[in-house]
A = this chain, B = another copy of it.
Amino acid sequence: MIIALSGGIGGAKLALGLSRVLPPEELLIIANTGDDFEHFGLTICPDTDTLLYTLAGLDNPQLGWGRADESWAFMETLAALGGADWFRLGDRDLALHVLRSHRLRAGDSLSAITDDLRQRFGIGPRILPMSDDPVRTQIGTDQGWLDFQDWFVRLRAEPLARAVKFAGVEQVRPQPVLLEALRAKPRGIVICPSNPFISIEPILAVPGLRDAIAASGAPVVAVSPIIAGQAVKGPTARMFEALGVTPSAAAVAARYGDLLDGYVMEHGDDGAGITPRVFHAATLMRDLADKTALARQVLASIEALR
């Protein structure tokens, strides 16, 4: 079993690659839920949904979120009626949110709902929210603590992120399925090229999970989301700068500390001073061939570390 920890777009690209080179029963994808939020009474799970849409081949590569075959009649009408339109909900995307929110209110678990959606979308590998209990990432800025989507989408991640907290994470329960997979001698653990601060660290903050990963005995390999000092997408680089750290692949590796056994970074990026074993690869994933090639390289690095 390969266990992959993933945020949204970058992580989902590698998860898609892994899903094409591994049998479905040998891949377990753990989705960050720290970005989840309530909007108009709907529970929205952006990273989980990006994973679902990407693995179903329904993702919108232009936007980097939502569905490719989308329309916006709902959103246009909502705005005309005076509803807040800073978080754009497509007509098709909305079906997923309405269905999930309704089932959550009826008492179904987020993992059961996500698994049903996965099957409806015809996706092979399991996609598991990091916990069925809510965690809500908040960003500390000069304007005070902001809810993640408020900062990220409404304010376009513009207020400098001086701190991050995962509200409620101390109380949440890890997924029994994940703990069991970690105890059952997984072949390797992949940290996808996602933002460490807001996509991976919420997962690692689930009580007991970091220890369970370390205790699994499996090699832990991260893929750098930073190429030539720049984030492929999103605020990763700016978040390092706000902490007074020069963004680099090495800075991400340092952030994960002794959790890592291996680190996959772009050809030509400087691996000096990185503690885990470094593997260089082509990490920019533009098409499916890039994604499967990187997935194979990550799996090869895991084999090399075993």
Contacts and interface: CB of A to CB of B under 8 A. Distances in A.
A95 interface: yes
A71 B91 contact: yes
A87 interface: no
Contacts of A95: 74-75, 77-78, 80-81, 83
Interface residues of A, number: 29
Contact of A83 (B81, B91, B99): B99
Among the interface residues A75, A77, A90, which one has the most CB atoms of the partner chain B within 10 A? A77
Contact of A73 (B83, B91, B99): B91
B73 A117 contact: no
A96 interface: yes
Given A41-B41, A105-B41, A99 B78 contact: yes
Contacts of A98: 40-42, 74, 78, 83
Contacts of A158: none
A74 B102 contact: no
A53 to B, nearest CB: 12
7 contacts: A74-B91, A74-B92, A78-B98, A80-B120, A81-B95, A83-B95, A94-B94
